[in-house]
Amino acid sequence: MGLIYAIANQKGGVGKTTTAVNLGAAFARLGKRVLVIDLDQQCNATVGLGLDKDDQPSTYDVLSGETTIAEAAKAAGPDNLWVVPASRDLAGSVVELPRLERPNFQLRDHMGEIDDHFDVVLIDCPPALGPVTVNALVAADRVIVPVQAEYLALEGLVEFLDTLSTVRREMNPTLELAGVLVTMHDERTRLAQDVERELRDHFSETVFRTVIPRTVRVAEAPSYGIPVTDYSPSSRGSTAYIALAEEVISRGSASRHGPGARGDPARERDRPGHAGAAG
Ligand code: ADP
Ligand code: MG
């Protein structure tokens, strides 16, 4: 089967949900069968993909052990795209999970038969390093960390990477960092350029070459319940997310158990191109 990517950062408003929705749609456009798992009680990915919030069964039911991801998956608006909706009940998971026998493994233990159905799975995480995010990191093969191109971007990233190391050491030894993604980049501002440079200096190849520009189209699309790739296919935001999907694939989309699955994704690609500046 394909890889499971957690899209995570404990900071809110950095572009996690936007990336889950639009990267998912971009993969779908490239012919992949994509599943987006919404783990945030705000349900923004669910709504952004055209479903109602509090639709059931939801990821809350999965984390409670009532159902599996495979059973809860529903067709989203765009072709090739499915979603397991979130519900506001997820607020309760923070207190309920620790009471279970394997609190950090609920998602992993309840994925169900997804192998034959999906080529890529993207998990949209809540803005916290609590038990719900840990469940995502335990179930995932790779992590994509969106970082907003603004002041103090590095703050929090180090803390997040520490959590990643802990999860890898204690619960999921094959978990890899797919990459850090610069989002909401405004190329006209010196600040955004400085932040991008600082990130690349610190984390070098770990930072995706593709940068997501800040655009009105990306911000507008969710209010129509469709990804930007459908709302405005030729826009810069849409082009950037397609480029990101291609870059993620080039960094190693080999099957979980096949060759490449354990390779260091940061070493695997060397393509020029800066989608933020293109189109
Ligand atoms: P998170 O899931 O990390 O909390 P979101 O993806 O919800 O962050 O993004 C936060 C806000 O920023 C949302 O209102 C979203 O529409 C907006 N946003 C995200 N990415 C972009 C972008 N590339 N251009 C313009 N607005 C964006
Ligand atoms: Mg979000």
Ligand 1 site-directed mutation target among 9, 14, 18, most atoms within 8 Å of CB: 18
Question: Can you tell me the distance from the alpha carbon of 249 to that of 64, in angstroms, rounded to the nearest whole number?
Answer: 33
Residue 183 alpha carbon to ligand 1 centre in Å: 8
Structure tokens at 110: 């309840």
The pLDDT score that the predictor gives to residue 257 is: 45
Quote the pTM value.
0.91
56-89: per-residue pLDDT in tens?
999 999 999 999 999 999 999 889 999 999 999 9
SS3 label, residue 178: strand
Q: Is the pLDDT of residue 171 over 70?
A: yes
Structure tokens at 230: 């459908």
251 within ligand 1 shell (Cβ under 6 A) = no
SS3 label, residue 115: coil
190-211: per-residue pLDDT in tens?
999 999 999 999 998 999 999 9
CB 17 within 8 A of CB 40: yes
Question: Can you tell me the distance from the alpha carbon of 156 to that of 145, in angstroms, rounded to the nearest whole number?
Answer: 11
Instruction: Give me the chain's average pLDDT, please.
Output: 89
Which is the closest atom of ligand 1 to the Cα of 237? 23
Which is the closest atom of ligand 1 to the Cα of 240? 23
Tell me the CA distances in angstroms from 101 to 68, 97, 104, 120, one per residue in order.
Answer: 17, 9, 9, 29
pLDDT band at 151 (very low <50, low <70, confident <90, very high): confident
Residue 17 belongs to what H/E stretch? helix 16-29
The pLDDT score that the predictor gives to residue 276 is: 37
The pLDDT score that the predictor gives to residue 256 is: 55
Per-residue b or e along 47-73, where b marks 16 or more CB atoms closer than 10 Å to that residue's CB: bbbbbebebebbbbbbbbeebbbbebb
